[in-house]
């Protein structure tokens, strides 16, 4: 079982394997008395669900949440909330030939070195992105609680290959943009790019290859003064939780790496007082966080996903039993771009982190 304390209040444990009977988790520290809108939660989960589109993995799972404890009449009671999601479409036979041949850029080799020969690595086992379904369920509940406090967390597919989506900082009507990105198959704001992404993914499937992608996430409505300095800042815990998502290889806040190439006079955010007598900044290069604490501007971050390592092309590896070089072709059902279904998972983990600070 994997466990984490998000911050001071919320603790999460995950269990299960990709092709086991079920995956599940326990979350402790959620505020009691909060009603969970199951229709909204199911819709949130559907954005991550496998088998839901032409160019995502064709492993078809219902991802039906079953509550075991902590909730009654869909109201959070205050004790640990436990859930399971049954695995209904497992195919462990797809992975039998890989027992001694670690897949390039997968956990296989490292996991066996740490845990030994008996670790279950079928479909990634406990290390699989399948377990992000539980994180998504918990994050979907956190997102509803934040919305009751007029705080909105939203993510979209910022970039795939050369296709750049509209960014949050360039939008006046953010609510309209959120509705678009939550209701199309690629979680993008500029729906004129839908066919372009279709063509990219169609070519990847044809070539038995994959690509990475970038997800942008923003938090709107968070007041200034939330967070902590040094070791327990907003950036610290968002980054920690982001790297719990398999395939994430980088994160930046605000202007990030691009800002590192600017002058201070170009990257500084100048203060002003708006018409409502609130203190704001004219730009948001800091991404809404200064010294680990919210500034009152929207929190803005980008998360980089690597290309899906499971591809159909022949690749070089080794046979750890015979200690010889060999080649493999990976079977199974895989996403040509994991960032697409990763959008809602980023939204979920950011919601959990922000909620933790507000409890």
- Euclidean distance between CA atoms 282 and 274, whole angstroms: 10
128 belongs to an annotated ligand binding site? yes
Task: Quote the CA–CA distance of 203 and 336 in Å, as a whole number.
Answer: 10
Contact call for residues 269 and 283 (beta carbons, < 8 A): yes
Helix or strand run (H / E) with residue 297: none
Tell me the CA end-to-end span of the chain in Å, nearest whole number: 25
Question: Is 50 among the annotated ligand-binding positions?
Answer: no
Has 54 been labeled as part of a binding site?
Answer: yes
Query: Is there a binding annotation on residue 327?
Result: no
- Is 91 marked as binding a ligand? no
185 in a labelled binding site: no
277 known ligand binder: no
d(CA 220, CA 153): 6
291 marked ligand binding residue: yes
Separation of alpha carbons 189 and 102, rounded Å: 38
126 marked as part of a ligand binding site: yes
Q: How far apart are CA 209 and CA 335, in angstroms?
A: 10
Cα separation, 266 vs 326, in Å, equals: 52
- Does 18 show up as a binding residue in the annotation? no
Which segments within the chain are labelled E, that is strand?
Answer: 2-5, 11-16, 22-28, 66-69, 71-72, 75-76, 81-86, 152-160, 163-164, 213-220, 248-253, 271-273, 279-281, 289-290, 293-294, 299-305, 315-319, 324-328
Residue 307 labelled as part of a binding site:
yes
Tell whether residue 161 is among the known ligand binding residues: no
Annotated binding site for FMN: 126-128, 291, 306-310, 333
Annotated binding site for NADP(+): 48, 54
Annotated binding site: 48, 54, 126-128, 291, 306-310, 333
């Amino acid at each position: 079982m994997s466990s984490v304390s998000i911050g001071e209040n919320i603790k999460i444990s995950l269990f299960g394997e990709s092709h086991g009977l079920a995956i599940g988790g326990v979350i402790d520290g959620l505020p009691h008395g909060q009603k969970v809108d199951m229709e909204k939660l199911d819709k949130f989960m559907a954005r991550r669900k496998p088998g839901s589109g032409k160019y995502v993995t064709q492993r078809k799972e219902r991802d039906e949440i079953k509550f075991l404890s902590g909730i009654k009449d869909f109201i959070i009671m205050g004790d640990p909330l436990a859930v399971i999601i049954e695995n209904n479409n497992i195919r462990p036979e797809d992975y039998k030939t890989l027992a001694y041949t670690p897949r390039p850029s997968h956990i296989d080799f490292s996991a066996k070195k740490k845990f030994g020969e008996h670790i279950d690595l079928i479909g990634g086992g406990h290390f699989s992105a399948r377990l992000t379904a539980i994180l998504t369920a918990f994050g979907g509940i956190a997102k509803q609680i934040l919305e009751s406090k007029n705080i909105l967390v939203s993510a979209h597919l910022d970039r795939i290959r050369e296709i750049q989506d509209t960014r949050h900082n360039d939008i006046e009507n953010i609510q309209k943009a959120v509705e678009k990105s939550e209701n199309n198959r690629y979680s993008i704001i500029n729906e004129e790019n839908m066919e372009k992404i279709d063509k990219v993914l169609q070519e990847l499937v044809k070539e038995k290859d994959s690509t990475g992608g970038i997800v942008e996430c923003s938090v709107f409505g968070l007041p200034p003064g939330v967070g902590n300095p040094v070791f327990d800042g907003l950036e610290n815990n968002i980054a920690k939780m982001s790297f719990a998502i398999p395939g994430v290889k980088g994160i930046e806040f605000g202007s990030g790496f691009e800002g590192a190439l600017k002058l201070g006079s170009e990257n500084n955010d100048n203060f002003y007082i708006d018409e409502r007598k609130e203190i704001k900044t004219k730009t948001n290069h800091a991404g809404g966080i200064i010294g680990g604490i919210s500034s009152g501007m929207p929190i803005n971050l980008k998360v980089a996903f690597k290309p899906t390592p499971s591809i159909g092309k022949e690749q070089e590896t080794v046979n750890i039993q015979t200690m010889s070089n060999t080649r493999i072709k990976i079977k199974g059902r895989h996403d040509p771009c994991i960032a697409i279904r990763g959008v809602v998972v980023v939204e979920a983990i950011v919601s959990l982190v922000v909620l933790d600070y507000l409890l």
